[in-house]
Amino acid sequence: MRKFAAEKSKNLLAHRKLLAGGLQHPTASSSTLVSSHSHHNLLLPYSSLLLRFLTTTAANPSAPSESMSSDYSSTPVKIDSINPKVLECEYAVRGEIVNLAQKLQEDLKVNPDSHPFDEIIYCNIGNPQSLGQQPITFFREVLALCDHPAILDKGETQGIFSADSIERAFQILDQIPGRATGAYSHSQGIKGLRDTICAGIEARDGFPADPNDIFLTDGASPAVHMMMQLLIRSKNDGILCPIPQYPLYSASIALHGGSLVPYYLDEATGWGLEVSDVKKQLETARSKGIDVRALVVINPGNPTGQVLAESNQQQIVDFCKKEGLVLLADEVYQENVYVPDKHFHSFKKVARSMGYGEKDISLVSFQSVSKGYYGECGKRGGYMEVTGFALEIREQMYKLASVNLCSNISGQILASLVMSPPKVGDESYESYTAERDAILSSLASRAKTLEDALNSLEGVTCNRAEGAMYLFPRITLPNKAIEAAKAVKTAPDAFYARRLLNATGVVVVPGSGFGQVPGTWHFRCTILPQEDRIPAIVSRLTEFHKAFMNEYRD
């Protein structure tokens, strides 16, 4: 690994030089970040800001260690001849802390005593089944039957599958031309599945939904990319994003060459979204010549966990309508609400409740099978519901979808299932609700336990996770720790996360990967380890934090 580490550090340095330099960097300003926040009064190149608030290169830990770049001198592709937008883009959720974790995991395999812990606990990513969450039985039964319809009418099948999963599989197969689950579908997804999804949206919202508005996708990420690809023409196009944000947004904006226009969520009011602040940021960006095209809202919030109040959502809808912004609503955590005083409302429901129709506001809602109580990340299913776009724009969206033919059919089927789970009277209904409720109530309890534990630590404050799958505690680091981080050229929160990992095996993502008010430090920690592991995590974290503070206390 030594060679690899040396290489990586060299690359990292070169990468930083590229990002910071500008002169040699063909499009150093091709992606910019515009802000009127007191700490960001200038139009900053996005790349240089990234150095401040995103962690750095996401190296491939498993790349062959003998591959020194000097040996590749006769191959044509050099680091300074690739698309600079690719260099610029960052995705901290699978960044260098995770690479270190994978290295430590390899160490443990070779020598279980090589580190002061037995195992790595991945709290870096919302990936519930990787931490032991079991899939919902009914969903998997239907998927298995659709994968292998030949067993549907065998006697044995009735012994090992529920009656309603068999019935559902028949229904779904009947919606697929020729029952061909191995055929490319319509590029927006199988029409019958879109009908089912619309029925689910209607039941949720109480307003009509149109299957022609649904684009089924391989998870929510490709849907987000598609909207960015459609809206962004150049660095003069801006997308308003919350800070902190899920770094898919910053990565996608960078890859499409646009400008991220940040608005800050207010930590002091439970990560409140102040429309007046959004408006200030919009005006600043416009004064710099940025054409702001859309507003991203993540509700429930990632990494922040807040659930927006309906009145707040109404303000946001009015703001987008008034300012001519597309509202990009990331609603993938719609089933993950843990507190009795908050409820999820889709932005479409809110807009329709206000009397705004199809032609009043352009709204895209993203949903995924990866989150909720189902957590089926590996299935890569999801959809976007697209309303308020003229026909000729819709045609362009369809064309973009058609270039990639269609999303995977299992993911499509699963997206229809999560929007139409078993109902009262179905054979699976009781076991389904038991599985679902056990997961959701356990997530709520884990969130509370971790939140309390974090709040009991010196210099740590943590807003409650009203929803989603994360806590995003703020850590007030002693100056000595900040100096120590500087000495090793690392952001202080990345320094803390790295020390935490090395001491406990717990993997979290530094706040700099999501963006934060400059001078503040956070980390994102999922609430996903199984309940019986939480006490150990709490005690390891507490012990580490005490020792860290004792080492660095000013």
Q: Which of residues 421-440 bind its own copies (CB under 8 A)?
A: none
Q: Is the dihedral of CA 352, 373, 453, 101 positive or negative?
A: negative
User: Applying CB under 8 A, which of residues 379, 446, 522, 545 lies at the interface with its own copies?
Assistant: 379
Q: Which of residues 35-74 bind its own copies (CB under 8 A)?
A: 57-60, 62-64, 67-69, 71-72, 74
For its own copies, the closer CB: 182 or 425? 182
Residue 91 as a binder of its own copies (CB under 8 A): the answer is yes
- Alpha helices by DSSP H, listed for 475-524, are 479-487, 492-504
Shortest spacing between CB 153 and its own copies, in angstroms: 11
- For residues 528 and 349, give the distance between their C-alpha atoms in angstroms, rounded to a whole number: 29
Q: x/- site string to its own copies, residues 385 to 404, per CB under 8 A?
A: ---xxxxxxxxxxxxx-xxx
**Residue 263 CB neighbour total at 10 angstroms:** 25
What Å distances lie between residue 528 and 402, 482, 522, CA to CA?
36, 29, 18
Shortest spacing between CB 518 and its own copies, in angstroms: 25
Residue 82 as a binder of its own copies (CB under 8 A): the answer is yes
**Residue 187 CB neighbour total at 10 angstroms:** 18
Gap between the terminal Cα atoms of the chain: 36
- For residues 400 and 215, give the distance between their C-alpha atoms in angstroms, rounded to a whole number: 11
Asked if 306 and 275 touch (Cβ cutoff 8 Å), the reply is no
**Residue keyed to tokens 């689910």:** 200
Instruction: Kindly give, in sequence order, each residue whose CB lies less than 8 Å from that of residue 498, ignoring residues fewer than 6 positions away.
Output: 97, 100, 490
For its own copies, the closer CB: 5 or 547? 5
Q: Which of residues 188-247 bind its own copies (CB under 8 A)?
A: 188, 191, 210-212, 218-219, 221-222, 225, 229-233
Amino acid making up residue 432: Y
- For residues 512 and 490, give the distance between their C-alpha atoms in angstroms, rounded to a whole number: 11
**Residue keyed to tokens 């061909």:** 180
- For residues 42 and 47, give the distance between their C-alpha atoms in angstroms, rounded to a whole number: 14
Residue 9 as a binder of its own copies (CB under 8 A): the answer is no
For its own copies, the closer CB: 225 or 342? 225
Q: Which of residues 339-378 bind its own copies (CB under 8 A)?
A: 358-362, 370, 375-378
User: Applying CB under 8 A, which of residues 130, 479, 520, 539 lies at the interface with its own copies?
Assistant: 130
User: Applying CB under 8 A, which of residues 32, 35, 36, 127 lies at the interface with its own copies?
Assistant: 127
For its own copies, the closer CB: 228 or 477? 228
Q: Segment contacting its own copies (CB under 8 A): 195-203, 272-280, 320-328, 490-498?
A: 320-328
Q: Which of residues 483-542 bind its own copies (CB under 8 A)?
A: none
Q: Which of residues 277-306 bind its own copies (CB under 8 A)?
A: 293
Shortest spacing between CB 477 and its own copies, in angstroms: 28
For its own copies, the closer CB: 232 or 350? 232
Residue 28 as a binder of its own copies (CB under 8 A): the answer is no
Residue 147 as a binder of its own copies (CB under 8 A): the answer is yes
Asked if 481 and 548 touch (Cβ cutoff 8 Å), the reply is yes
**223-262 CB burial, b ≥16 within 10 A, e <16:** bbbbbbebbbeebebbbbbbbbbbbbbbbbbbbbbbbbbb
Q: Segment contacting its own copies (CB under 8 A): 182-190, 484-492, 493-501, 508-516?
A: 182-190
User: Applying CB under 8 A, which of residues 382, 411, 473, 510 lies at the interface with its own copies?
Assistant: 411
| Strand pairing category for 363-368 and 382-387 | antiparallel
**Residue 74 CB neighbour total at 10 angstroms:** 5
For its own copies, the closer CB: 249 or 523? 249
For 270, list phi and psi in degrees, rounded to 5: 65, 45
Residue 17 as a binder of its own copies (CB under 8 A): the answer is no
For its own copies, the closer CB: 37 or 291? 291
User: Applying CB under 8 A, which of residues 380, 464, 474, 498 lies at the interface with its own copies?
Assistant: 380
Angle formed at CA 31 by CA 26 and CA 32, multiple of 5 degrees: 120
User: Applying CB under 8 A, which of residues 2, 24, 38, 77 lies at the interface with its own copies?
Assistant: 77
For its own copies, the closer CB: 407 or 504? 407
